[in-house]
Structure formats: C-alpha cells, structure tokens
Chain A
Amino acid sequence: MTITTEYDITTALENLAQSLTIRLSSKQTPAIIGIHTGGVWVAEYLKQRLSGKIPLGTLDISFYRDDFSRVGINPEVRPSQIPFDIDDRHIILVDDVLYTGRTIRAALNEIFDYGRPASILLAVLIERDGRQLPITADCVGDRIALREDEQIKLSGPSPLNLEVVKLS
C-alpha cells in the first residue's frame, strides 16, 4: 500500500527561478545542465523562465555512479548531451531532488570529463534531509522534511507534478 500526497510545485519553481536570477546576474557565460530525468524537466522550465538563450545540456550519470558493483548498469542509460564548450563557463547544475548527494558527486565528476568550468552552481527544486556527502545546494525551490518511509516522486515534463509517496 502506498499513500500519495499531491504537492503544489508552482511556488517551488517560482522560488527557484527567482533565486537563480539573483545569482546569475553577475555571471557572463552561463549554461544549464539538467540531470536525467527529473532534473532535465526542471532545467527546461528554468531555461524558458530565465532566458531562452542560455544553452542547455543533459547528463545521465549512470556511468559515474558509485554503486556500479552493487546495482550494475542501468539498462536505460541515455547519452549525455553537452552541446557547448564547458571550459570557462558558469554552469548551473539542476536536479529535481537533493537527497544523499551521491548523484551530484557523480554529476560533478562527469562534468569535469567534458572540461574545466569557471564555476558550478547547484540548483534543486526540492531539498530533503538525508545527506551522505558534504554537498549543499546554492538555490533551492523548497525544503521538505520527510520520514524514512517517504519518498518524493516527480512526473513530467508537462505538467510537472510532485507527489510525496509514503510506503506503508
């Protein structure tokens, strides 16, 4: 049995866009990178919201996970697509939920295999507790406190929906 609670993400998306706008005002050459799959949806929203001109890339971090020997290859890996030069760019790394921090660690490693960015800023729609690595988001849409048996599930891309799923 699972119980799901709908969550209104309009405010979270708006918060995130505003907080990013402030941080971005000083950056000359920004680019957005979304992490598959939820992060790409959020990144696409942010791109439209900020300025359609900012280039957008996508990352599938499956090849960079730290649990390959435990969970194996993800059978549905998509190619990462970075259609711009990473070198000297200000990267906005976007994910849907920041939880353990392991996905972000993998994404940072992957980005550095493409080049040397000027800076990376982490933007997440939802920050929840449970960090296992020293990673913090720079821009956050909303913070949700969840219990051990609760999970966040994002569906999209349009409409973007967020549910809190309780496994019971």
Chain B
Amino acid sequence: MNHPLQPDQAGSLKHFLTIEGLKREILVSILDTAEPMTEVTDRSIKKIPLLRGKTVVNLFFEPSTRTRTTFELAAKRLSADVLNIAVDTSATIKGESLLDMLRNLEAMHVDMFVVRHPQSGAAHFIAQHVAPHISIINAGDGRHAHPTQAMLDVFTIRRHKPDFGALRIAIIGDILHSRVARSQIHALNTLLTGEVRVIAPKTLLPVDVESLGVKVFYNLRAGLKGVDVVIMLRLQHERMQAGRLPSEHEYYHRYGLTRDRLQLAKPDALVMHPGPVNRGVEISSSVADGSQSVILEQVSHGIAIRMAVMSMALDRTRAAS
C-alpha cells in the first residue's frame, strides 16, 4: 500500500494526493466524470449545483496563477464557496503552526482543502492530520506529485487518441525536479500506455528513472521518432544556477522542440505543455502556437478535471467501481 489515505474504506476517492497506487478504474471514472463537465462551460450560466453549500479552501504555500485559478473556477462552477489563502512563502511554516492553521480553518466548517506546497509530502501530512470530514486535493507538492495536472493531460490525450495501448508518448525536459512528469508517468502507465519515453540530459533525470516504467533517451531526435504525443516540461531557471545545465541557449540547441524536430514524430502527433511556456527555451513559438499544439485545450480541460475530482471527493456515498 503506497498511500492508504487516498480512497476510503468504501473505495471512493476521499482525498486526491497522488496517482501512484490508484487503480485504473478510478482514473477512468475521473475521466468519464470530467467528460460531461466540459459542456457546462458552453452554457449561458456556467454553473451546476453539485457542491452547493460546500466550502473549498485553496491553501497555497507556493505562488501559482493557473492552477489556483482553475481550481477556483472549478469549485465555483460546481456552486461551492471558495476561500483563497496564499500563505506567505517567506515565513517559515513550522509543523505546529501549520496544524494550528488547519484547526482554525476546520473550526470554520470547511469541506475541502486544495493544497499546494513546495515540500514533497505536504498534502499527505495535511491529510493525515485534518478532521475526518475534510477532503484534501494535492495541487502540487515539491517534486512529488501534481495529480490533477496529470489527469487533465491524459484527459486531453484521450479526447484525441483514446487507445492508450497503441500510443508512444514522450516526456521531454527536467524530469528530475518535475512533479508533473512523475504524476504523468504514473497515470500513463496505469492507463496501460504502449510506451512512455523520457528524453532529457543525464543531469535532469532521476538516477532510478527506469524503475518508473519508462524508456530513457538522452538524444532528442532519437526519442522523438514515431511518437504520438510530445509532452514538454517547463525548464526552471533556478536549475541553471545549480549548474545542471550550461545555459538556456545550449539547452534549446539540444532539447528545444522546433518545427524541424517535431517532424520526426508522427504527422498527427500532439504537442503538450503544462505551462507556463518558456518560448525559445524548451519550445519554439511556432510549435507552441502551431496546429499540433493542444496547450490551451489542456487549460480548459483542467477546469473539467478539477470539477470531476472535487465532486467525486465530496461524494461520500459512492462505492468502489
């Protein structure tokens, strides 16, 4: 058992902390529930009453625009009330004061915390200590996991190419520091993807990366050959300072996705990126804005996926599928 906290005894999704260890059926039911949620956006009143009267707290210990706003929109479209709390990242949050904060919020009778934290394991820690009626959704913890991002990515892939068994998918960039990549790899393998590749310089790969169930390529051209989906990762500037890469220019030269290189993939290959995009660092503008790019679709799907996860987590009646 990796994370016994996630599904409750009945097998329904109480917390959503990581994809690792979740059954394929749960992932598929998240994707299926998100499907009708996409249609809510087309209405004149973009709201459904599923979580009316529930209170969702966005608890962000790390700055984020896209993830926080899509969680907020998702909760609002489900008719929940939303409280945004950005905890000053410069202030040290000691274990004790974090728990104090939780107790205080619990006393306000909230129903869900959406947690982003720079430390791996923070969402699990909160889930272990929170009152039993509260659900925790991990919105990114350190290098560990970003499960809703991975779900919106596989949702986007499924809408274009539903047969995962037939797909070759390449994840390119800083795998070592990426919670997104880790969650994507778990999701893709759980959904029985034909082949998951990672393409990166050695300095940006975890030592035991093969154990995640991926094929490793150090050369971009070799790795791109014949893939159906290309997932680019954001290159964090601070990695350069840590001496893991010579320069942004050098990185683009060897690992940047350009139009020429994209032609090595299948002609209908999808180009994805979790955002925000560093144009001219990991991807060229012409590819990011090109006809194969589904980057903006990923953003809209993020709302539907988060609506699905939130309503499933607050649905305490559903039995395991």
Interface residues of A (CB under 8 A from B): 60, 62-64, 68-73, 75-81, 86, 109-110, 112-115
A79–B35 touching, CB < 8 Å = yes
Leading 3 A-B pairs by shortest Cβ distance = A72-B317, A113-B45, A79-B39
Q: How many angstroms from the CA of A94 to the CA of B49 in the assembled complex? A: 22
Judge whether B50 and A75 touch: CB under 8 Å. no
Residues of A within 8 A of B100 (CB): none
Interface flag for B36 (CB, 8 Å): yes
Residue in B33, B49, B311, B316 with the greatest tally of chain A CB atoms within 10 Å: B49
Q: Is B29 an interface residue (CB 8 A)?
A: yes
Contact A70 B49 (CB under 8 A): no
- Asked if B36 and A73 sit within 8 Å, CB to CB, the answer is no
> Per-position contact with A for B30-49: 1 when CB-CB < 8 Å, else 0?
00110110111001110111
Residues of A within 8 A of B47 (CB): 113
Cβ-closest chain A residue relative to B79: A63
Any A CB within 8 A of the CB of B97 = no
| Contact call B44/A79, Cβ cutoff below 8 A | no
Chain B: interface residue count, which band? 20 to 34
**B50 near A63 (CB under 8 angstroms)?**
yes
One of B29, B44, B49, B312 near A114 (C-beta < 8 A): B44
Q: Which residue of B lies closest to A76 (CB)?
A: B32
Known: A73-B312, A76-B32, A114-B45. 14 other contacts (CB 8 A): A63-B40, A63-B48, A63-B49, A68-B50, A72-B315, A72-B318, A73-B50, A75-B318, A77-B36, A79-B38, A80-B36, A109-B49, A113-B45, A114-B43
- Across the interface, do A75 and B43 meet the contact criterion of CB distance under 8 Å? no
B321 within 8 A of A: yes
Smallest CB gap from A80: residue in B: B39
Question: B residues within 8 A CB of A64?
Answer: 48-49
From residue B185, how far is it (CB to closest CB) to chain A in Å?
A: 27
Residues in A whose Cβ lies below 8 Å from that of B38: 79
Q: Which residues of B from 266 to 321 have beta carbons under 8 Å from A?
A: 311-312, 315-318, 321
Residue of A nearest to B54 (CB): A69
Chain A residues lying within 8 Å of B12, measured Cβ to Cβ, are 72
